[in-house]
Structure formats: structure tokens, C-alpha cells
Chain A
Amino acid sequence: MIDDLAPVPDEVTQEWWEATRERRLLLQRCDRCGHVQHYPRAMCVACSSFELSWLASEGRGIVDSFTEVHRAPHPELEVPYVIARIRLDEGPVLLSRIVSSDQGQITCDACVSLAWQDIPNGYKLPVFYIDPK
């Protein structure tokens, strides 16, 4: 992580980023219809309710897809690294990285578990590792 890429929380996402300090991956659950969503928004995308609560993810999911990046978008980033779409067991998909895995282990639909990476402003970034169970 480099400073230029550090997230700048807003009033809706502040709690989400604060929870990362305690290694908790939050999702939003709608109080009205029960829909679970990520990224955090002011409203539910299923029923447009503004009544939303936080739910802590169990941190398990599967690889929806992935790509190993060989040309860095910023000179400070070391290549290669693996960008992935992770489909959490709770439903939402998030963009993340797959870390500490042999490239050969990574396939679409492989099972993954949550890990955390430090980032410059004290928050942590949720990442995943291949975790066959």
C-alpha cells in the first residue's frame, strides 16, 4: 500500500474503516428487508430503506475471479500481486487481494479465508488466502 491509494472515509463508511482496526470485516444488513450489502451505502439497494445495521462477516468465501497483475499502476507497488473478486458466504462480492498463496493454487471457485494487511493511516485492509477445507 502507498499513501496515494489510502482510503478517505466519509460519514457512511467511517464505522466500517474503524472496525478494520480490530480486524472486523463489516457488512451492511437492511433492518427492513434483511438484504446484506457491501460497499457501505446510505441506503439499501434491495428496498431503498435508510435503516441499515452492521453485521460482522465470518470471513469465508470463494474466488469469483482473479488476475495476477504484472505491471504496477504506481511505481511504489511491487509486482506481481493477485487482485480478486471474493464472493463472501454472506452474499456480497468484494474486490480484494489473494496473499500468501502459490499462484498455482488459485482457481475460480477456490475457498478463501480472511486476513488483514496494515495500511499507512492505521486502518487495515481485508485480504484473503486460499484455505481448502
Chain B
Amino acid sequence: MTSAAIAGVAESDLGVTNASILALQAQAITRALADAGLSVSDVDGLATSGVSRFSTTQVADYLGIQPAWSDSTFAGGSAYEMYVARAVQAIEARQASVVVVSFASNQRSAKSRRLGGILESHTPEAQFETPYGPLYPISYYAMAARRYLHEYGGTPADLAQVAVLAREWALLNPKAYRYGSEPLTVDDVLNSTMVSTPLTAADCCLVTDGGGAVVITSLERARDLRRDPIRILGYGEATTNTSMSQVPLLPTGACESGQRAFASAGLTPNDVDVIELYDSFTITVLLSLEALGFCGPGEAAAFVASADSRLGGRQPLNTSGGGLSYCHPGQYGVLLLVEAVRQLRGEAGDRQVADPSIALAHGTGGILSTHATVLLGVNR
């Protein structure tokens, strides 16, 4: 249990925005501060990445602030769960009092996504992996999926269930990219364009613009602000690999990340009322559910296909519609936190889970490279 809390959250505009990265950052940050009843001048801590080489400096400069604390840890989509941990530590150490964690991307409008990823020619991967032409990150997740199905006797239909569930939730979320579209079937996923076997286009997350921000302060201060505080109960993380060959595909670093987070919060997977997992690909969700201890080995697909993961179920999963059907701006981790807070506040509209007390947000970055878990709870 920490002495820090989330006081405000917001999304920037999502989908296809034709906006610049920094304008989307400014939207997300000012909206989250307004949600908290604070303003830009109250911010003395800033954590962000994905803007430029000097990401926090860039955003601080754009906002016209000079923070006392900053962090630009680069860990892909898991960075935002890591920033929550760092922010708690900065607040408890009195290095900062109001920290904003933010991210935004215009990757769809700017057409900046590359199937081969970004090549840094001085890395070992550039010499020993890139010459073979893997899709980055897709081919690594595809190999993890193939190994997973091989070990547990599964089929691609098991993966497809994750995309089907995501679409169901997205149809309940007016902000979702796929809101107003048709429900997805397992056959739709299997018959979608093949990208890197066994993953089809429908097994892969969206490519959209979007962003979000989270305002973190002490619980004491958050009590006096506009919204009921959401407590940060615990956190954990793990960093495992950057190349495609150096660690076993299964299980993932989410095991250690989850164990560390549950231990720090004094909780177990059974205590969690709503689960928000990074769904870069359908396989990511199955691997994370098992690694975090929500399901036994090889049992995640059955959970996803069951009523337990749905509205009214025991542990509703990825309630926004996820990166697969709601929004995936490249580093989706901040939006996991936004959705977890909205569910705990009871403001999730048609997709609201019945009276949740505890939520888990788990980010995954790179090629199952970085893993970070945050446990959040209502303040009772």
C-alpha cells in the first residue's frame, strides 16, 4: 500500500486526429488536470516518452513549466505503469507533489508506423536478427503464440477469442474506434488477412492516434481535490529481453512483475475485480493472464471465452475494448490506467462493472521485453 493516489485522468482526442503529438499531449494533460481540479501551474513532476529524444523536456517546454522531477524511462507500452511506480516514489520522497504521467501519438494520421520496426544499426539485433526480415514486433509475438499453442494443444481459435471479447466491450464504449461496428466472430478473426502465422490482422492491435494522462499526488492532498482519490495499492515490473533469441518465449516477465506487484500491495489475483491488460496482440492477453496468476497454464483461452471475463462476470477483462478495438496509439499503457480509474470511480457508462474495489493494469512493451503492473483501489 502506498500513500499516493490518482487524482485525475483523461484521454486526448482518439482515432484519426490530424493533430500534432504535442497538441494531443497538451489536450490529455490539461483535461486530466481539470478532472483533478488542478492546473498546469500545479505540476512539479512530469513523466512521458515517445515525443522526441528529450521527451519530458520537450513536453515541459511546450507546457511552459520547469518540473522539479521528471522521468523518460523508455519501456514501450509498459512505461506508463513504471511511471506510476516512479511517481509514487518521487511523491513519498517529497521530490514532487503533483506528477503528470502522459503519452500521445499521431501515428495513424502521420502514417509513421513501420512493419519492420525502427532499426538502430549499432545493436546486436541489427547484425544477427534484422537480416532475416522479421516483422517487429509482430513476428516475435507470433512465435510466442505458436509455442503457446504447441505446448498446450491450442488452436488459433483460442487466440481469436481475445479479439471477440475486445470487440464486445468496444461496442459499449462510445470512444472506441470500433464503436458502432459489428460484433466480431471467431471465424472473422481466423479469416482476416494473415500477417505472421498464426496471427491475422484481427489478432493485431489497431493503429490509431490517441493519448492519455494521469495525475498523481499524495492521498492526503487528493482527498481535498475535485474527485474521489483512487489509491495506488502496489506495483512491480520486470525487464527481460530486447532481442528475439535470448530468453524463453514462455512464460513471460509478467510472472515476476505480477508477483512483485501483488506482494507490494498484499493482494492476490483473486482480489482483483477488473483486469486491464495490454493487448498488443491476442496472444499477449493469454500469456499475461497466466503469468499474472489469473489462470493456470493453458487455461486463459477458456477464461476469455467464458462469461467470467464479460460484463457481469467474475473478473471483467479489458473493459474499454483494448488496443484491439478501442484505441492503440503505439504505447497504449497510459490508457489502461485511465480505464481502470474510470471503472473504480463508477463512471464507465454502459460498460461499467458492478461496484469494483480493486483494478489491475498491466503494461507490456517491446517484444515481451518490459512488463509493469499497477494495482489500484477505491479509497474506503
Contact = CB atoms under 8 A, between A and B. Distances in A.
Interface string B247-283: 0010000000000000000000000000000000000
A119 B146 contact: no
Given A13-B127, A108-B147, A74 B142 contact: no
Interface string A68-82: 111111100100010
Contact of B143 (A8, A83, A107, A119): A83
Contact of B249 (A9, A85, A107, A109): A85
Contact of A67 (B115, B146, B246): B146
B194 interface: yes
Nearest to A12: B124
Interface stretch (A27-35, A48-56, A92-100): A92-100
Interface string B105-133: 00000000011110001101011111111
A125 interface: yes
A65 B144 CA distance: 7
Interface string A93-126: 1111100000000011100000000010000010
Contacts of B142: 67
A95 B245 contact: yes
Contacts of A66: 143, 146
A39 B126 CA distance: 11
Interface size class of A (residues with CB under 8 A): 35 or more
Nearest to A68: B197
A5 to B, nearest CB: 5
Interface string B189-229: 00001111111000000000000000000000000000000
A1 interface: yes
Given A67-B146, A83-B139, A85-B249, A7 B131 contact: yes
A64 interface: yes
A83 B195 CA distance: 13
Interface centre among B129, B133, B198, B243 (most CB of A within 10 A): B133
A6 interface: yes
A81 B114 CA distance: 18
Contacts of B150: 65, 107-109
A71 B133 contact: no
A96 B244 CA distance: 10
B132 A65 contact: no
Contacts of A108: 146-147, 150
B131 A69 contact: no
Contacts of A81: 133
A65 B139 contact: no
Interface in B1-53: none
A93 B136 contact: no
Contacts of A77: 133
Nearest to A45: B246
Contacts of B244: 85, 95
Contacts of A109: 150
B133 A83 contact: yes
Interface string A1-23: 10001111110010001000000
A90 to B, nearest CB: 14
A8 B128 CA distance: 10
A68 B129 CA distance: 15
Interface string B314-344: 0000000000000000000000000000000
B133 A39 contact: no
A35 to B, nearest CB: 13
B249 A5 contact: no
A68 B133 CA distance: 11
Interface string B147-187: 10010000000000000000000000000000000000000
A56 B114 CA distance: 36
Given A70-B194, A71-B115, A39 B249 contact: no
Contacts of A38: 128, 245
Contacts of A70: 193-197
A70 B122 CA distance: 27
Contacts of A119: 131
